[in-house]
């Protein structure tokens, strides 16, 4: 599986994805799929779908799909190169942007800029929640589970880990 | 970043940044956003709820995985670029290793029904966590200025969540609209704050 000659191209592709990923990793999933499956022919459609599902089920940022896809393409080095390429360009960008944002912190316009941006941010999070639920909820019981989980995190201070553990037990018992 | 009235605890060390972000990462099923907010706002209080939305807002408008961008901002806020590296390594290292391990295991055991059942239940619950967090964040923002927050928030939700608009056009439309309404209402918002 370790094909080190793929590393430069793998790194370059993920570095570009990093700079395209306004709104996060899942926003560039279609482009990642195009690169890995259709352009480079490094994995099949089914391979990619499976790797993506595992990344969703694993703990951690959505970015770890890059680690898994990189691993599938070129082993451990592939995982390392893809992960670093996926986060380095954007991290440097946000580091610089945050420095600039702090310099203007006492300007009066910052208050209304913040107020104008907040609903956009929250709307996007709600949208990603709906999209995730649409992909995950294959039947009515799964929808009830989604609603219960949303209500618990909204109305209580229950640790999300308990909610997920409960869901895992329901799943293992074949109730979802 | 304006200093809040209840100042956050002493600035975290590099080791604390690394460890807290690691712990948030390995608990973060379905994305670290929920755990990241809990860790930053409720557990360590490194950010107030308002600061979290502000940081997240900047990070969502910059390319890159959101919570990874948040780790860079929080790390650099307390310990400069080395702090950013510490927080970034924390959020990435353990989850990446676990994920690759899981992928290897999944390739072996994907035929076992129990594995499929558990994964089939985790995904709906994880999506509910994201929805519930969005509602939790929306409540104070709606209470503060409904005229601004309701149309903009709902518009983005519908465009991105139901109409499947690509993200860039959503941002290019929603951000100017949100900013324009906020600018037009800037005086009433300031009065509210002063009260």
Q: What confidence tens digit (pLDDT) does each residue in A10-46 have?
A: 999 999 889 878 767 766 776 788 888 888 999 887 7
Residues of B in contact with A168 (CB under 8 A): 118, 121-122
**What confidence category does residue A150 fall into, taking pLDDT thresholds of 50, 70 and 90?**
very high
How is residue B68 annotated by DSSP? H
The shortest CB-CB distance from A24 to any of B25, B65, B91 is to B65
B109 in contact with A at a CB cutoff of 8 Å? no
Read off the pLDDT of residues A104-132 as tens digits, 9 standing for 90 and up.
777 788 788 888 888 988 888 888 788 77
Read off the pLDDT of residues B19-72 as tens digits, 9 standing for 90 and up.
999 999 998 876 688 889 999 999 999 999 989 988 988 887 788 888 899 999
How is residue B110 annotated by DSSP? T
Torsion over CA: A111, B75, A163, A125 (sign): positive
Give the long-range contacts of residues A156-160, CB within 8 A, separation 24 or more. A157/B42, A159/B38, A160/B27, A160/B29, A160/B34, A160/B35, A160/B38, A160/B129
Kindly report the three-state secondary structure assignment for every residue of chain A: CCCHHHHHHHHHHHHHHHHHCECCHHHHHHHHHHHHHHHCCCCCHHHHHHHHHHHHHCECCCCHHHHHHHHHHHHHHHHHHHHHHHHHHHHHHHHHHHHHHHHCCCCCHHHHHHHHHHHHHHHHHHHHHHHHHHHHCCCHHHHHHHHHHHHHHHHCCCCHHHHHHHHHHHHHCCCC
- List the single residue in B with minimal CA-CA distance to A131: B161
Q: Do B64 and A129 touch (CB under 8 A)?
A: no
- Nearest 10 degrees: CA dihedral of B65, B101, B89, B46? 70
Residues of B in contact with A106 (CB under 8 A): 2
Torsion over CA: B71, B72, B77, B79 (sign): positive
Closest approach of B186 to chain A, Cα-based (Å): 6
| Spatial contact of B48 and B4, defined as CB atoms under 8 Å apart | yes
B185 in contact with A at a CB cutoff of 8 Å? yes
Q: Which of B114, B163, B94, B44 is nearest to A130 (CA)?
A: B163
What's phi and psi for A137, nearest 5 deg? -90, 95
**What confidence category does residue B95 fall into, taking pLDDT thresholds of 50, 70 and 90?**
very high
Closest approach of A39 to chain B, Cα-based (Å): 22
Q: For A129-141, what is the mean pLDDT?
A: 82
CB pairs under 8 A between A and B: 371
The shortest CB-CB distance from A124 to any of B88, B114, B156 is to B156
For residue B194, is pLDDT > 70?
A: no
The number of angstroms, rounded, from the C-alpha of A163 to the middle of its chain's C-alpha atoms is 20
pTM check: above 0.95: no
State the pLDDT at residue B153. 94
Chain B stretch 33-72, residues whose beta carbon is closer than 8 A to a beta carbon of chain A: 33-35, 38, 42, 50, 53-54, 56-69, 72
Q: Do B133 and A131 touch (CB under 8 A)?
A: no
């Amino acid at each position: 599986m370790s094909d080190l000659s793929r590393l430069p191209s793998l790194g370059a592709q993920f570095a570009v994805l990093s700079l395209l990923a306004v709104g996060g990793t899942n926003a560039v999933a279609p482009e990642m799929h195009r690169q890995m499956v259709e352009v480079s022919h490094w994995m099949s459609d089914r391979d990619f779908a499976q790797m993506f599902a595992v990344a969703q089920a694993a703990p951690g940022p959505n970015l770890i799909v890059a680690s898994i896809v990189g691993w599938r393409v070129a082993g451990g080095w592939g995982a390392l190169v893809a992960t670093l390429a996926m986060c380095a360009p954007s991290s440097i960008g946000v580091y610089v942007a945050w420095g600039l944002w702090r310099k203007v912190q006492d300007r009066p316009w910052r208050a209304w800029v913040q107020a104008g941006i907040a609903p956009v941010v929250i709307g996007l999070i709600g949208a990603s929640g709906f999209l995730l639920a649409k992909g995950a909820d294959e039947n009515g019981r799964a929808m009830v589970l989604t609603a219960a989980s949303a209500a618990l995190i909204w109305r209580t201070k229950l640790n999300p880990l308990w909610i997920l553990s409960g869901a895992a037990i329901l799943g293992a018992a074949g109730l979802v | 970043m304006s200093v809040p009235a209840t100042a956050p605890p002493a600035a975290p060390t590099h080791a604390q940044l690394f460890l807290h972000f690691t712990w948030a990462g390995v608990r973060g099923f379905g994305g670290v956003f929920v755990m990241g907010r809990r860790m930053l706002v409720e557990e360590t209080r490194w950010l107030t709820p308002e600061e979290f939305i502000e940081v997240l807002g900047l990070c969502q408008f910059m390319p890159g995985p959101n919570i990874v961008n948040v780790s860079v901002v929080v790390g650099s806020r307390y310990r400069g670029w080395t702090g950013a590296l510490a927080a970034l390594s924390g959020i990435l290292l353990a989850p990446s290793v676990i994920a690759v391990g899981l992928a290897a295991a999944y390739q072996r055991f994907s035929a076992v029904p129990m594995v499929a059942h558990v994964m089939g239940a985790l995904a709906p619950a994880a999506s509910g966590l994201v929805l519930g967090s969005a509602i939790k964040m929306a409540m104070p923002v709606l209470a503060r200025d409904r005229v601004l927050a309701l149309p903009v928030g709902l518009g983005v939700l519908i465009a991105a969540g139901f109409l499947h608009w690509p993200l860039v056009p959503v941002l290019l439309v929603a951000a100017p609209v949100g900013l324009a309404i906020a600018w037009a209402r800037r005086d009433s918002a300031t009065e509210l704050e002063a009260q």
